[in-house]
Amino acid sequence: MARFAKDDIEGRIGELLPSILRSIKAETSERETVTALRALAVTIVTLDSDDLYDSAADLLRRKVSDSESTQVKISAIHALGTAAFFGGTSEDELEDTMAFFLEIVESDGLSIDAHDEGSVVIAALEEWSLLVTALDDFETTTETAMEALVEQLDSADAGVQGAAGEAIALLYEKSYTPVEDDEVPEPTSDDDELPRGAQENLFVKRYTVYRRQDQLLHTLDALANASSRRISKKDRKTLHSTFGDIRNTVEKPTRGPKYSTAIDQETGFVYGGGRMKVKINRNCEVRIDKWWKLQRLNALRRVLQAGFTHHYDENEAVSRCLPFSMSGR
């Protein structure tokens, strides 16, 4: 969506939403159904209403489970994730939707009659990860989720491996939270690398994410250095870059994507996180220095595509998902 159209559709949602849902339910053709599912997702983000999840969730689940079209399943998974994140859900409903997605991952798609369809598993991993970012505490279900995610690192599909790896990095990141006022954190080697004034943003480990971390690091090392001829040159490059970052986070969970230990010649400190930036306008940029930010950015881009920057400027639902910083210009 190339512009923010809330004013255009808000007064007509009473007729637009039922029409979109009827089109999805009828599934007259794959193309029409996929288009309707994408329109639903854009509408949910645009309206920023707490009433839309209940209107769409049951139908979307049925499409994920029952449609004979792989593309419809994928689009329905993305629409359901968008509805759960933006459409007004209780925490119980959110966790129930996450369990639905995780079952797809655990079964390699078999739970929705899409066995070994890598693109379906990727969609479920992406939306599951998005919903993880909405939860403050994920300790109680981390162990079960990690078993499923680690298993997917052995997938023959590089996209599945990457999505699972990014979800693993996210869970490690979530296991560390900011230091409370009455806590004294143990110093780490990273602390001395931080610029003056940044050490107040210290984090502390709250729980163990995965008991077999040495084994996990070995797997991540192998993926970060994959050289098999069975993997395309493009996939190898992606795996090397992605899993290098993921391994860094598993080893040091306060390090986000694209963390760099190179020295900034101007400041004398390491660059650290935040080298990945999204320009919104001349004065505003989003620093993607955390995995939760990357998951939300990717989700918003999937839905809004070329309209992302327009929505960021005008749609509070989008801008509150990703805090901005003033451009360094």
DSSP assignment string, 272-297: ES---EEEEETTEEEE--SHHHHHHH
Question: Average pLDDT for residues 108-125, to the nearest whole number?
Answer: 97
Closest CA to 86 of 43, 124, 128: 43
Q: pLDDT by residue (tens digit) across 169-193?
A: 999 999 999 888 777 665 555 544 5
Closest CA to 246 of 193, 211, 209: 209
Q: Which pLDDT does position 199 carry in this prediction?
A: 44
Question: Average pLDDT for residues 235-262, to the nearest whole number?
Answer: 85
Question: Average pLDDT for residues 79-93, to the nearest whole number?
Answer: 95
**3-state class (DSSP) for residue 260:** strand
Q: pLDDT by residue (tens digit) across 10-64?
A: 778 889 999 999 999 999 999 999 999 999 999 999 998 888 999 999 999 999 9
Question: Average pLDDT for residues 204-212, to the nearest whole number?
Answer: 93
**pLDDT > 90: percent of the chain:** 62
